Amino acid sequence: MESITHTSGISRGSLWAGRIITGLVVLFFLFDSIMKLVKPAFVVEANQQLGYSEHLIIPIALVLLVSTILYVIPVTAVLGAILLTGYMGGAVATHVRVDAPLFNVVFAVLFGMLVWAGLFFREPRLKALLTLKH
C-alpha cells in the first residue's frame, strides 16, 4: 500500500505524477515562450499564418512566460493554471479560426487539460475540491 505524505495529505505516487506532468508542461511552455522571444523566421512566419502580426509575438511570449512562472510557484499555481487555460483557449480559437488541422486543436485542448492534471495530482486542496464523493 502506498504511503501518504504527512505534510501534504497526498500519496507519493500522486505527487510525483503531478510533478512529472507539470514538468513536461512547463518545459513545453518555456520552450514556446523562449522561441517567441528569440523570434526566428519560422516562428514569425507561423504566427503570421495564424493571423498575428510580428509586433504581437513578444507580448504573447511575455504573457505565456509570466503565466508559466505563476503556475510553477505553489502559492500562485492555481492562478497560473487559470491563465494558461485561457492562453490555450486562445490557441484553440486561433486554430479553429484559420481552419487548422484537427490535430492542432486537439493538441491545444490536451495541453490545457495537462495543466490541470499536473496541478490536480500535486495540490491536495484542488483534489479535494474536484473529487466527487457521495
pLDDT digits (tens, 9 = 90+) for 31-70: 999 999 999 999 999 999 999 999 999 999 999 999 999 9
Helix residue ranges, H only, 39-122: 41-49, 57-72, 77-97, 102-122
Q: Is 123 exposed, middle or buried (0-12, 13-18, 19+ CB in 10 A)?
A: buried
Determine the average pLDDT of the residues in 8-26: 90
Please report which confidence band the pLDDT of residue 123 belongs to, taking 50, 70 and 90 as the band edges. Answer: confident
Does the pLDDT value for residue 11 go beyond 90? no
Model pTM above 0.75: yes
> Which of 89, 84, 88, 85 has the alpha carbon at shortest distance from 69?
84
